[in-house]
Amino acid sequence: MATLWSKISAALPAEEEQFPLQFSDKVESSVTDMLKRSRRQLYSDTTSTSPTLSAQIILDLSWEKLNTGTWRDVDKEWRRVYSYGCLFKVAALCREDPSADDVRQAVRTCDMGLLMGAAIMDGILQVVVRILQGEVRKSTEEEEESEHEVKRIKIEGPRVPLIREEVTVPRTKRPSLESFNTNYLLPLKPVILEGVIDHWPALNQHPWSIEYLRCVAGCRTVPVEVGSRYTDEAWSQTLLTVNEFIDQYILNKGGAEGVGYLAQHQLFDQIPELKEDIRLPDYCCLGEGEEDDITVNAWFGPGGTVSPLHQDPQQNFLAQVVGSKYVRLYSPEDTDKLYPHQSQLLHNTSQVEVENPDKERFPEFAKAPYLECVLQPGDVLFIPVRHWHYVRSLELSFSVSFWWS
Ligand SMILES: O=C(O)CCC(=O)C(=O)O
């Protein structure tokens, strides 16, 4: 661990004067004074107050602002203050001969900054977490070498629905851009594209697996959805490391209740190593939006995770990387038969449990025509804008979806 601090400090500005700390007057001067004190501590060898304490005060003050009112109304300035607090705490943890636990805590602190804060200093938290992760990986590999334990996953027999030929989503192999545009994008027709992600490193160079995820991201803290489906009362969100998520919800160690789903919009920004394993499908260039506006989502979970029937305001490519998933699709023209929730928050979600519908409450549902399919690794399902989709994983599964316009 001796060189860890030298690697981190090499990523910081060389002089205190070059370390930027600029805030609008929305941030009180007592807080900016505390930030300046932490900066001074970062560049001096001897300090009177503990750097950990100063960083914690900044974190506590900004955390309160982040948790007051709705997230939409939280001022970005306070999210920046929070990120600085995280950076100073990481420095305090790693400066003097950090233990393995200190390093793990530092990784968690960076992740909290990346999830809750706003970008500072050209993404410094991203740079620092990469350095820290290298350190954790080294020590995990050492531990594993002495373990030699073969880890097996309990795979329950999936409830695989019988797909009727006449309602199955059509498949096509590597269509040209023009053919995809004419036959599917313009008429807004769902289709499964085959052979278009075979070149992804996630499917060949280093195939995604539990071991690979542990290695690349095991110590990273990510938001996890807990509960069978997000429409359930008992559904909640929590923060876990990827290792904790795998142990509790995939390997079922410790008997965690319910289904855990790592369904995330930010995962690939938070962990760029995973983003390097995937590619934007070429067909996205047919959209009118900018490439930077494409949202890339991760969906990682055990068999049995369910995304209730819902619709999204963009085109979607749902790419299956690991395991299989059952998908049911309904056209937006049949929305009146799908009984969307009344509330503003869930108006894009149907009240119907697709595979076990309440026929009395939702009598029209059975009349709505649909298409269905089972996605296998390598398949990419085109879900046209506003098409209702219901998804259930049949086994351990990792998919990536691209929302584009
Ligand atoms: O795979 C899933 O569980 C849901 C995917 C989805 O809803 C989406 O990509 O919009």
Q: Residue 12's closest CA among 124, 120, 108, 119?
A: 124
User: What is the arithmetic mean of pLDDT over 185-209?
Assistant: 97
Mean pLDDT rounded to a whole number for the chain: 92
For atom 8 of ligand 1, the residue with the nearest CA is: 401
Distance 307 CA to ligand 1 centre (A): 6
209, part of any domain: yes
Pocket around ligand 1: residues whose beta carbon is below 6 Å from it?
297, 299, 307, 312, 316, 318, 389, 391, 399, 401
Q: How confident is the model at residue 275 (pLDDT cuts 50, 70, 90)?
A: very high
Q: Kind of pairing, strands 388-393 and 306-310?
A: antiparallel
Domain total in the chain? 2
Domain limits for position 16: 4-145
| Backbone phi and psi for residue 336, each to the nearest 5 degrees, phi listed first | -65, -15
CATH number for the domain that contains residue 367: 2.60.120.650
The answer as to whether 270 is a domain residue is: yes
Is 136 in the same domain as 197? Answer: no
> Does residue 99 share a domain with residue 211?
no
Token couple for 71: 């997230």
**Beta-carbon-side half-sphere exposure of residue 41 (alpha carbons within 13 Å):** 24
Q: How far apart are CA 170 and CA 323, in angstroms?
A: 20
CA of 252 to the centre of ligand 1 (A): 23
For ligand 1, what atom is nearest to the CA of residue 393?
Answer: 3
326 and 195 within one domain: yes
Q: Which amino acid is at 352?
A: V
Say if CB 355 and CB 392 are below 8 A apart: yes
Would residue 48 count as lying in a domain?
yes
Express each pLDDT in 215-269 by its tens digit.
999 999 999 999 877 888 878 899 999 999 999 999 988 767 778 899 988 899 9
pLDDT single digits (tens) 93-134:
999 889 999 999 999 999 999 999 999 999 999 999 999 998
Q: What is the pLDDT of residue 398?
A: 97
Whether residue 153 is predicted with pLDDT greater than 50 in this model: the reply is no
Residues 267 and 138 in one domain: no
